[in-house]
Amino acid sequence: MFKTTHLYKIINKNVVITCSRRQNTVAEVGQSFRHRAWLLARERYKGHEHVHYSSVLETNIKPSFSIPEAQQHLPDDWMDDYEFYQGAQEGATKQGTPDPSLPASKVPCNGCGADLHCSNASLPGYIPSEIFRGRTQQELQTITCKRCHFLNQYNIALDVEVAPSTYVDTISRIQDKFALAIVLVDLLDFPCSIWPGMQNILGAKRPVFLVGNKVDLLPRDSNIYLQHIKDSLQREFIKHGGGDGLNIKNVSLISAKTGYGIEELITQLHKTWAYKGDVYLVGCTNVGKSSLFNILLNSDYCRPEASDLVRKATTCPWPGTTLKLLRFPILRPSSDRVYQRFQRLVSERSEKAAIEKERRAVARETGSAAAAQPVAPVGRTFDRRESVNDAFAMAGGSRPITTLNDRHKDYKEARWVYDTPGVMQPDQISPLLTAEELVKLQPATMIRPRAFRLRPQMSILLGGLARLDLLEIRSPRKHFDWLKVFVFASEHLPIMIADTEAAESVYKRYVGSPFLGVPFASEDLEARLRRWPGLQCKDGDIVLASQGRNEGTRLNCDITLSSAGWMGFLLPGHSECRLRAWTPQAAGIYRREPALIPLADRLVGKHIRYSLAYNTTKPFVYKK
Sign of CA dihedral 508, 513, 517, 521: positive
Return the DSSP state at 247.
Answer: E
Q: How far apart are CA 294 and CA 214, in angstroms?
A: 15
Q: How confident is the model at residue 130 (pLDDT cuts 50, 70, 90)?
A: confident
89-108: pLDDT as tens digits: 554 566 788 888 899 898 88
- Residue 190 reports pLDDT greater than 50: yes
- Residue 420 reports pLDDT greater than 90: no
User: In whole numbers, what is the pLDDT of the chain averaged over residues?
Assistant: 82
What confidence score (pLDDT) does residue 8 get? 53
Q: How confident is the model at residue 549 (pLDDT cuts 50, 70, 90)?
A: low
Give me the sheet containing 179-186, strands edge to edge.
247-253, 207-213, 179-186, 278-283, 416-419, 326-329
328-375: pLDDT as tens digits: 899 999 999 999 999 999 999 999 999 999 999 999 999 999 999 999
438-447: pLDDT as tens digits: 888 989 899 9
Q: What are phi and psi of 5, to 5 degrees?
A: -60, -40
Pick among 3.40.50.300, 3.30.420.40, 3.30.230.10, 3.40.50.970: CATH of 164-425: 3.40.50.300
Length of the chain as a residue count: 624
533-545: pLDDT as tens digits: 999 998 889 999 8
550-593: pLDDT as tens digits: 556 889 999 999 999 999 999 887 889 999 999 999 999 999 99
Q: How confident is the model at residue 317 (pLDDT cuts 50, 70, 90)?
A: low
Query: Which stretch of 168-172, 289-293, 422-426, 553-557 has the lowest confidence by average pLDDT?
Result: 168-172
Task: Please answer whether residues 51 and 42 qualify as being in contact, where contact means their C-beta atoms are separated by less than 8 angstroms.
Answer: no
Return the DSSP state at 306.
Answer: G
Q: How far apart are CA 582 and CA 241, in angstroms?
A: 23
- Residue 379 reports pLDDT greater than 60: yes
pTM: 0.82
Task: Please answer whether residues 439 and 317 qualify as being in contact, where contact means their C-beta atoms are separated by less than 8 angstroms.
Answer: yes
Strand 207-213 and strand 247-253: pairing? parallel
What confidence score (pLDDT) does residue 72 get? 47
Q: How confident is the model at residue 547 (pLDDT cuts 50, 70, 90)?
A: confident
Task: Please answer whether residues 580 and 500 qualify as being in contact, where contact means their C-beta atoms are separated by less than 8 angstroms.
Answer: no
**CA-to-CA separations, 55 to 192, 448, 452, 485, in angstroms, rounded:** 27, 14, 11, 15
The helix/strand count (H/E) of the chain reads as: 15, 20
Of 488, 438, 142, which is closest to residue 315 (Cα–Cα)?
Answer: 438
Q: How far apart are CA 16 and CA 549, in angstroms?
A: 55
Q: How many CB atoms lie within 10 A of CB 411?
A: 15
Q: What are phi and psi of 306, to 5 degrees?
A: -95, -15
- 613 versus 552: the higher-pLDDT residue is 613
- 286 versus 534: the higher-pLDDT residue is 534
Q: How far apart are CA 432 and CA 586, in angstroms?
A: 13
What confidence score (pLDDT) does residue 70 get? 38
What confidence score (pLDDT) does residue 28 get? 42
- Residue 149 reports pLDDT greater than 50: yes
- 84 versus 514: the higher-pLDDT residue is 514
What confidence score (pLDDT) does residue 124 get? 82
The angle at the Cα of 524, spanning 519 to 530, to the nearest 5 degrees, equals 60
Query: Which stretch of 62-71, 179-188, 200-209, 433-442 has the lowest confidence by average pLDDT?
Result: 62-71
Task: Please answer whether residues 290 and 419 qualify as being in contact, where contact means their C-beta atoms are separated by less than 8 angstroms.
Answer: yes
- Residue 394 reports pLDDT greater than 50: no
Q: What percent of the chain has pLDDT over 90?
A: 45
- Residue 22 reports pLDDT greater than 70: no
What confidence score (pLDDT) does residue 322 get? 65
Task: Please answer whether residues 94 and 88 qualify as being in contact, where contact means their C-beta atoms are separated by less than 8 angstroms.
Answer: yes
Q: How confident is the model at residue 23 (pLDDT cuts 50, 70, 90)?
A: very low
Return the DSSP state at 131.
Answer: H
Torsion angle in degrees (nearest 10) through CA of 239, 244, 245, 246: 90
Residues 6+ apart with CB under 8 A from 376: 258, 259, 260, 261, 262, 263, 352
* Arithmetic mean of pLDDT, 117-138: 87
What confidence score (pLDDT) does residue 67 get? 37
Q: How far apart are CA 403 and CA 108, in angstroms?
A: 12
Helix (H) or strand (E) holding 510: helix 503-510
Q: What percent of the chain has pLDDT over 70?
A: 80
User: Three-class SS of residue 196?
Assistant: coil
Domain boundaries, the chain: 58-66+431-616, 93-154, 164-425
